[in-house]
Amino acid sequence: MLHTDGAPWSRRRLLAGAAAVGAGLVSAGCARPAAARPEGPRRWAFTDDTRTSVGAPRRPRTVVAYATAAAALWEYGIRAVGVYGGIQTSGGGVNTAILGGVDLDRTTLLGRTWGQVNLEVLGRLAPDLVVDTLQFGAHQIEPNTLGFVRRLAPVVGLEVYHTEIPRAVHRFAQLAHALGGEVRDRDRTAFEDARRRLKNTIKARPRLRVQFVSADPDGLRVAREAWPGLPDLKGLGLDVVVPPTGTSAYAQKLSWEDADRYPADLILMDVRTSSLQRDQLATNRVWQSLPAVRAGQTAPWNPEPVMTYPAMTRFYNDLITTLERTHRLPA
């Protein structure tokens, strides 16, 4: 546990204290010390989605970010020097599905499981800013660890779950611009155009039932509306098949014997390596028997999308193409 005894805080002192609690994590019973970073002239400022105004003497140049935030910034030309997030696969590898165009050879991994950040590595990187995403207002970093992270660098949080897609995309564009990234007007125009065309495509093909799923060895997880983008797609008119109840706000888990409970004309499949992919389901007779699968009406879905104008434009355009090829299946 760290103690505030009035002496000035330093990276070395903080990291020594953090190491004492082991593995960069703080035990649940420890109190978080009050912020003690010296304040200088605020020549750069950004107000995040917690309504916190984050300031710095100059524009941040060294950035560490949560996986999807790093992917968004990367697309705008901001290269995060460090990345963290729930990106470890069951085999110990890295799940690149939520990393977008991030080049892992040009960045450092500070954590592979949810909530964890290696404070020693973070201290060595000496970031000017940490960019985190918010999940219904909560940071992706484990709360006790977050207190230590804030000792090392200011933290910006942007909401990606409890918000509409256009706002989330706009907020990442604002942050990227504030950090010196290139946000092009034509990309925003293309995004708005793709969104309009998607809405028109949905209107022209009513009553198509669309299901979003993740597959496990012991069953199917049918997505509920907590995932980013699903309420937004419903708002555009898409008939998203949403279980009324679930094992969590994010999904209802069905055994394979019950996998056909909710009829669907189109199944969008989780692309993350935490979910079984189509080739891994090739010998699953229940999966192969689902009407949408038999009809070849499946497509990829990223539950943790990259919130940029170009990335979401690609998603909208791909969904338009998929919907145009999808037909209503017999009940």
In angstroms, the CA 39 to CA 232 distance is 40
Q: What is the pLDDT of residue 216?
A: 95
Q: What is the pLDDT of residue 42?
A: 62
CA torsion 303→307→310→315, rounded to 10°? 20
In angstroms, the CA 272 to CA 304 distance is 9
User: HSE (CB half, 13 Å, CA atoms) of 314?
Assistant: 11
Backbone angles phi, psi at 82, to 5 degrees: -145, 145
User: HSE (CB half, 13 Å, CA atoms) of 263?
Assistant: 6
Encoded tokens for 289: 């028997």
CA torsion 203→205→209→212, rounded to 10°? -70
Only one residue has tokens 């940071």, namely 139
What pLDDT band is residue 331 in, cutting at 50, 70 and 90?
Answer: confident
Is the per-residue pLDDT at 217 higher than 90? yes
What lies within 8 Å, CB to CB, of 151 at 6+ separation is 9, 14, 33, 35, 36, 37
Q: What is the pLDDT of residue 115?
A: 87
Question: pLDDT tens digits for 116-173?
Answer: 999 999 999 999 999 999 999 999 999 999 999 999 999 999 999 999 999 999 999 9
pLDDT, average across residues 66-88: 95
Q: Which of 99-103, 174-178, 275-279 is the most confident on average?
A: 174-178
CA torsion 234→262→228→134, rounded to 10°? 130
Q: What is the pLDDT of residue 312?
A: 97
In angstroms, the CA 151 to CA 247 distance is 37
Q: What is the pLDDT of residue 33?
A: 35
Q: Which of 28-32, 214-218, 327-331 is the most confident on average?
A: 214-218
In angstroms, the CA 9 to CA 13 distance is 6
The residue type at 40:
G
In the chain the domains, ranked by start, together with CATH numbers, are 11-183 (3.40.50.1980), 195-324 (3.40.50.1980)
| 26 Rama class: left (phi>0) / alpha (psi -120 to 50) / beta | beta
